Amino acid sequence: MRQIVYTSENIYKTSVKHSLLLILLVVLLSSCSVTKKLPAGESLYTGATVKVVADSAINKSEVKNIQAQLTEFVKPKPNANLFGFPYKVWFYYLFGEPKNEKGFKSFFRKRFGEPPILASKSVTAANVKQINLLLNNEGYFRSFAKGDLIEKNRKSTAVYTATLHQRYYLDSVSFSPQDTSILGKAFTNAKQNSLLQKGSPYRFDLISGERIRIDNILKKRGFYYFQPDFIIVKADSSVGNHKVNLSVEIKPTTSQVARKNYRIRDVHVLADYGEKIFADSAKKDQEIVFNGIRVNDKTQSYNPKIFSQAIAFRRGGRYSSNIQDISLSRLINLNGNFKFVKNTFELVPRSDSALLDVFYYLTPLKAKSFQADINGVTKSNNFTGTNLSLSWLNKNTFKGAELFKITATAGLEFQVGGISQTLGKINTSRYSIEGTLAIPRFTIPFFTINPQRNQALPKTNISVGYEVLKRGDLYSLTSLKSSMGYAWKQNSMVEHSFTPISINLVKGDFSFEFGEEIFRSDNPIAILKTLDNTLIMSSNYNISYTPTPKPQSKHLFRFTGGIEVAGNFANLLSKIGSSGSSNTLVGVSYAQYARLDGDLRYTYNINKSLQIANRFVVGYGLPYGNSNTLPYLKQYSVGGNNSIRAFAARSIGPGEYFSSGEVNSVVLGSQTGDIKLELNTELRAKFTKYINGAFFIDAGNVWIHHFEEDYGATSIFGSDFYKQVAIGTGVGLRLDFSYLVLRFDLATPVHKPYLPEGERWVLKNFDLKDSQWRSENLVLNIAVGYPF
């Protein structure tokens, strides 16, 4: 006989077991009280069980998939429960029937309860019919199901048994338009990239998708009145060996109107279409014809040229749904000028007509507006504060839908913790003013957009800004910046931006007392570089690629990348302005570097409630000529609530370097580098409609190119870089309200690269009971939105 020794741990476990038994007893008693309140003769529906009896030729994984599919398919879903207890039904009956709609009982019932789902034989019979239809639509011909309700103690479970026969597969697919007209030829050409392929299983949803795909192709080729219902797919399963032949055809009853290929006659734009204006009367008003577009603009608020650029249809051109979508997208996104955009097509009234008139009805918004924004911020370096922004906008500055915006911002941050004994409490103020002009076209004459490819109008963006940052009486930074660039969308998947000129002049100043603190710190040279006067004259190009996922695909990709080159033009100007070589321009040292950036994101949807999200970030900066390192504003950093969440922002690296100084950790945060590697992985789970959870792992660091005395040799990127990667892990809670996501991520370090080798893996020291360990290793990140 095995002997059990009762220790305090045994007693604790025993008491827990007794508590659980008590809770289960309460749940069972409460459950009984729920069923007693059901209507007479009714029972509570508790869910469904699906059994599959399959032919021996069907493999187990296929049977398992069908069983899971049928289990998800049957309706209704039972009431929400906790350990089998229908708590929401219990809440529903808790206070009895409400006497009026506005009382507390009614509020409580609607807010916290839900009416009981009652078992029904008619619903079970309807489910059997739907299961039979589903099996047939999935290619399991001659398969069938039966169902029954099993009741016990006024609780009923639906039991379905599906008899599954072998699945049918496609043996051949033919396109037979039975028509030699333009429609017939277009229909035959549409067989390329068909969803129906030989050897694939028969599935009705693929057949429906194929009809929609063909319809989309035909509409892009001018067949405006064609519909998916005009396509019939005939199936012949008599070929044997569980094979089926498909014939895709145009229905003989398809009307002549649907068979015609249409062209455009006139394009009309009503630029000030309000609710009180009727279309028929508006068409008769005087129109201005510009580049084939008939524009009706009573208030003369817009230059007709913008409609010619936005609308791709022209007189005599062929109708295309692709051009229709592009034109609508451009008008809707014309710097927010229009509240509503309506598009209609009218058949020209002739007996043999194959012509369409196009009408665009535009309801403008007010051109000028004023905005005020206020927000709060909490940072990992113990600063918290608020920002106030005031903006004035003109959405139609020069009658060409140009958006001019001027924004003034004031912000204050207060130190609420980690106050320095030598520097004292530090408060921060930030003031800025910025003007931007977004022009919905290229301001260069040699480039024209392709209406077949460019989903949105290109934009020319011009900006000028000035900013002042003050950290108490310690130091100040002023920045004067200006840029001009272009942004355009190649198609629905690819976006580009090119900024040929960007100028940023940064000047720093610090007090004598702060200077003494800098030279007492462990990295004075690095800190002084953050306060250097620097001129950055650069050009950059960025691309974003987001491929459209295939139907029912579980994979989502996104890539953004960019290249930036700085200092070459400044170097040329400095040589022109001086007799010999010069490292300055207008008395300020200019930066020279090249920077490459890449951000790859991949998400795999395991099921509707579970997904794995991944991000890989790489950054490589190469200083040259006038620079030994990248300027501080362009250097990379890791840590914080959108990076490696187990470490504070700018508190890792470069390499094995670690700074415990107050100047660096509290005031500046100068732990930056020229090279960056970062990898993030999250397992995201959807608990309810609004509550999501996550388990995450973050890893990464930054490094420098050349030896710097402050950082040491272990900060240089080398063959041992993998030993210097910081790793953190944690769990997260997200409140997702669609328009707003509140995120709470609790993280702890796993690998600290700044510790001596052999001591860097710190998860072994995990101890929630130790208050000192918690204060040093638990990091709570509170943020808005997902980290990536």
Q: What is the pLDDT of residue 353?
A: 80
What tens digit of pLDDT does each residue of 348-379 get?
Answer: 988 678 999 999 999 999 999 999 999 877 76
Q: What is the pLDDT of residue 48?
A: 94
Q: What is the pLDDT of residue 417?
A: 60
Mean pLDDT of the chain: 86
Q: What is the pLDDT of residue 223?
A: 95
Determine how β-strand 44-54 pairs with β-strand 155-164: parallel
Nearest CA among 416, 381, 382, 472 for reference residue 665: 381
What tens digit of pLDDT does each residue of 309-318 get?
Answer: 899 999 999 9
- Of 84-93, 387-396, 497-506, the poorest mean pLDDT is in 84-93
pLDDT surpassing 90 at residue 319: yes
Please, are residues 782 and 378 in contact by the beta-carbon 8 Å criterion? yes
**Stretch 540-554: mean pLDDT, rounded?**
90
Q: Which one has a higher pLDDT value, 669 or 469?
A: 469
pLDDT surpassing 90 at residue 341: yes
Confidence of residue 342 (pLDDT cuts 50, 70, 90): very high
Residues sharing a CB contact under 8 Å with residue 269, sequence separation 6 or more, in sequence order: 293, 294, 295, 296, 297, 307, 311, 360, 362
**Stretch 108-112: mean pLDDT, rounded?**
88
DSSP category for residue 778: -
Confidence of residue 134 (pLDDT cuts 50, 70, 90): very high
**Stretch 663-683: mean pLDDT, rounded?**
80
Count of CB atoms within 10 A of residue 748's CB? 20
pLDDT surpassing 90 at residue 66: yes
DSSP category for residue 763: G
Q: What is the pLDDT of residue 502?
A: 96
Nearest CA among 603, 440, 635 for reference residue 530: 635
Q: What is the pLDDT of residue 279?
A: 46
What tens digit of pLDDT does each residue of 719-773 get?
Answer: 999 999 999 999 999 998 888 899 999 999 999 999 998 899 998 888 888 888 9
d(CA 115, CA 580): 87
Q: Which two tokens stand for residue 581?
A: 């070589």
Q: What is the pLDDT of residue 11?
A: 28
3-state secondary structure of 343: strand
Dihedral class, residue 193 (left if φ above 0, else alpha if ψ from -120 to 50, else beta): left
Q: Which one has a higher pLDDT value, 630 or 392?
A: 392
Tokens 């592009």 locate to: 326
Order the strands of the 169-176 sheet from edge to edge: 169-176, 243-250, 231-236
- Of 128-132, 250-254, 383-387, 526-530, the poorest mean pLDDT is in 526-530
Q: What is the pLDDT of residue 2?
A: 35
What tens digit of pLDDT does each residue of 449-497 get?
Answer: 554 556 678 899 999 999 999 887 888 899 999 999 999 888 889 999 9
Residues sharing a CB contact under 8 Å with residue 102, sequence separation 6 or more, in sequence order: none
pLDDT surpassing 50 at residue 278: no
**Stretch 2-13: mean pLDDT, rounded?**
32
**Stretch 774-788: mean pLDDT, rounded?**
88
Confidence of residue 6 (pLDDT cuts 50, 70, 90): very low
- Over pLDDT 90: what percentage of the chain? 55
What tens digit of pLDDT does each residue of 411-438 get?
Answer: 998 876 655 555 566 788 999 999 999 9
Nearest CA among 641, 625, 534 for reference residue 572: 625
Confidence of residue 14 (pLDDT cuts 50, 70, 90): very low
pLDDT surpassing 50 at residue 281: no
d(CA 82, CA 80): 7
Q: What is the pLDDT of residue 126?
A: 95
Residues sharing a CB contact under 8 Å with residue 359, sequence separation 6 or more, in sequence order: 268, 270, 279, 283, 343, 344, 345, 346
Q: What is the pLDDT of residue 671?
A: 84
d(CA 673, CA 523): 14
Residues sharing a CB contact under 8 Å with residue 551, sequence separation 6 or more, in sequence order: 209
Confidence of residue 181 (pLDDT cuts 50, 70, 90): confident
**Stretch 83-104: mean pLDDT, rounded?**
87
Nearest CA among 670, 691, 671, 677 for reference residue 722: 677
d(CA 753, CA 700): 10
Q: Which one has a higher pLDDT value, 220 or 34?
A: 220
75 exposure class (CB count in 10 Å sphere: 0-12, 13-18, 19+): exposed
Q: What is the largest CA-CA distance in the chain?
A: 104
Q: Which one has a higher pLDDT value, 27 or 599?
A: 599
The identity of residue 122, as a single letter, is S
d(CA 777, CA 749): 6
3-state secondary structure of 132: helix
Confidence of residue 566 (pLDDT cuts 50, 70, 90): very high
- Of 34-43, 391-400, 419-428, 581-590, the poorest mean pLDDT is in 419-428
- Of 30-44, 348-362, 380-394, 713-727, the poorest mean pLDDT is in 30-44
- Of 201-215, 499-513, 579-593, the poorest mean pLDDT is in 579-593
**Stretch 623-630: mean pLDDT, rounded?**
88
Nearest CA among 645, 639, 617 for reference residue 731: 645
**Stretch 557-568: mean pLDDT, rounded?**
95
